[in-house]
Amino acid sequence: MAEPMGFFTDTTVCIGCKACEVACKQWNQLPSTNGGLNTLSGDSYDNTRRLDGIHWRHVKFIEQFSENRTDGRWLLMSDVCKHCVHAACLEVCPTGAIIRTEFDTVVIQSNACNGCRDCIAACPFGVIDINPVSNTAQKCTLCYDRLQGGMEPACSKACPTQSIQFGTIRELHTKAQTRVEQLHQAGENRAYLYGADEKMLGGLNSFYLLVDKPEVYKLPPDPKMPTRNLVPGSLFALLGAVMVGLAGIFNFRNRGGGGPAPNRSGDSQP
Amino acid sequence: MNGAPSSTWFTTGPHWGWFIALYFFFGGLAGGSYFLAALIDLFGRREDRPLAHIGYYVAFPCVALSGLLLTMDLGKPPRFWHMLIESNTYRPMFKYWSPMSIGSWVLLTFGFFTLASFLGALAEDDRIPWTAFRKLRAPAAPGLVVELLGGISGFYVASYTGVLLGVTNRPIWSDTPLLGMLFVISAASTSAALMTLLAQLTRRAAPAFPGMADLHRMETWVIAIELLVFAAVVVSLGRVLSAWLNGWGLLVLIVVIPGMVAPLFFSSRNSRIRGVNIQTSAILVLIAGFILRVVIVFSSERV
């Protein structure tokens, strides 16, 4: 197996040019929204709106301005599938369409997916959705085809500011840590890494440098695996069945006497 | 997203709509009816067998409809078999930790059990000429096996949908571990209501059902349990309950008051309301059972 590969996205140097979105769309031949008749969202410069089956990269624009707009800042972030080490989508997929590749990335095989959409509900980041052309669930593949050909993913290749960096996870962790220290030394003490360590779903193979709370970037502060509810949910369901079973047994056996019961079907009639 | 009550607020809905809400309802009826019919057969008396037949007559069409609804809901319906066979290797596809994977297998096997018991009931009622099918009913050994395994898989079909919702990261669904319990109890109450209703409606055409009063009493017990479990679900949701502080809350009230509290009241000996009979009560329970599933499916989707 090749060494695990991924993305380190330094949001502090993103300029919101959306070159990553365009490169992703172009390489992966993703269709436009509504046949190209897209409407403006009214949400800053973000007309992509969210990650889905035809948007595998999404540049978020977060405006933090004072009421009179004399003070403020932009937070820009190019979002993508996190290629989680413990991937919720892969865990629940009932068809085996979602696989882990030799690069430790997570890929949906479109020819195997039947569009049950369990993975969409399972993803803690809201990354996956149905591609209306294929009617299957789709998301970033971390350009699996390019990786197999020895190339880097289209988005990081196109990024003009190196906000999106591609490489081995080990190298990226070192670079990211150095960058955080550099920012701290420069006085930006809010800088931290989101998803770099194993505490978050075993580690995200696409992790971020952020300068505000995850919620501000519309990222979950505490993403979890969906199977956390499997054992308690099953046990409670079993308890429910036992209660129903006891109610049934008690009512159909406890009728006093073993002879034929009289016709009591009208007992409860008014 | 600041101040979101749960990390589940950051996820995307799977667009499970009417097909899934209907499947949850009819799948619950299939599992619940079979579960109750098997209970009646295995623990009731011989006179109750016609009542059990109603359960088997309900279960098979409902499970067939369930399979159809699930297939139609897929993005690629012709690939429904990918749930059972891995399309790249043609090996069986089974993940014991994925409720949807186990559910697909159990629904398939449950379909065979419901068909067997359906044929057994038809044969016993002399509606088909093949008397050999009578052995598919207890106390014959094949019938015992079918009803025991069918009853267990019926319980699974009635409950796994709630567990499946829990094994996601969606608001409401994964914010409580109690949906499977709620679904299995609701499946029992709606199934008992439907069996009671059908027994009442067919009373003139068929022999009387001695166990009907017992079934109605059981239905009352189960509704009481359902009310308690629903209260537990509400408590367990905590801050997430804010998702129901709107029109969904009104539907929840419809589920609770006419669908649970009113049937309990009508069944109580102190009820002074005249003209409300078992049939009305059963219809209320069935409507509330459907609305319950609609609220749970769609209210999460709308977050």
Which CATH number do you get for residue B157? 1.20.1630.10
Pick the CATH number of A5-225 from 3.40.50.10490, 3.30.70.20, 3.30.1300.30, 3.40.50.150: 3.30.70.20
A10, containing H or E segment: strand A5-10
* Cβ neighbours of residue B87 closer than 8 Å, sequence gap 6 or more: A95, A96, A97, A111, A112, B79, B81
Token couple for B11? 């996820």
- Within 252-271 of B, beta carbons closer than 8 Å to A belong to 267
What is the extent of the structural domain holding B133? 13-218
Cβ atoms of B198 and B54 within 8 Å: the answer is yes
Domain tally for chain B? 1
Residue A266: which pLDDT band, with cuts at 50, 70 and 90? very low
Domain boundaries, chain A: 5-225
Amino acid at B220: T
Question: What is the per-residue DSSP string for A156-220?
Answer: HHH-SSSSEEEEEHHHHHHHHHHHHHHHHHTT-TT-EEES-STTTTT-BSEEEEESS-GGGGT--
Instruction: Tell me the sheet residues that pair with A6.
Output: A167
| Residue B114: inside a domain | yes
Q: What is the mean pLDDT of chain A?
A: 92
Q: CA A93, A95, A97, A100 torsion: positive or negative?
A: positive
Choose among A16, A237, A65: nearest CA to B176: A237
Instruction: Tell me the sheet residues that pair with A107.
Output: A99
| Residue B253: inside a domain | no
Token couple for A12? 């502090």
- Chain B environment of A218 (Cβ under 8 Å): 1, 10
For residue B28, what are the CA distances in angstroms to A95, A205, B106, B191? 24, 40, 14, 8
**Stretch A248-267: mean pLDDT, rounded?**
54
| CA-based nearest residue in chain B for residue A233 | B177
**Stretch A227-241: mean pLDDT, rounded?**
96
| Residue B48: inside a domain | yes
- Alpha-carbon gap, residue B106 to A12, rounded angstroms: 51
| CA-based nearest residue in chain A for residue B79 | A114
| Residue B251: inside a domain | no
Choose among B129, B123, B70, B141: nearest CA to B100: B70
Amino acid at B265: F
- pLDDT score for A249: 87
Whether this model's ipTM surpasses 0.90 comes out as yes
- Chain B environment of A130 (Cβ under 8 Å): 15, 75
More confident residue, B156 or A269: B156
For residue B229, what are the CA distances in angstroms to A65, A242, B131, B176, B181? 47, 14, 43, 12, 8
| Residue B226: inside a domain | no
pTM of the model: 0.92
A18-50 in b/e burial notation, b at 16+ Cβ within 10 A? Answer: bbbbebbbebbebeebeeeeeeeeeeeebebee
- Chain A environment of B77 (Cβ under 8 Å): 114
- pLDDT score for A264: 37
- pLDDT score for B227: 97
Cβ atoms of B49 and B41 within 8 Å: the answer is yes
pLDDT above 90: residue A83: yes
- pLDDT score for B297: 96
By percentage, how much of chain A surpasses pLDDT 70? 93
**Stretch A187-200: mean pLDDT, rounded?**
96
- Alpha-carbon gap, residue A213 to A261, rounded angstroms: 69
Mean per-residue pLDDT pooled into runs of 10, chain B (303 residues): 80 96 98 93 84 95 97 97 95 95 97 97 91 87 94 95 97 96 97 92 65 85 96 94 92 94 82 65 95 96 84
Answer whether B247 touches A (CB < 8 Å): no
Amino acid at A57: R
The nearest CA of chain A is from the CA of B53 a distance in Å of 15
Token couple for B196? 């009671």
Instruction: For residue A94, give the nearest of B8, B44, B83 by CB distance.
Output: B83
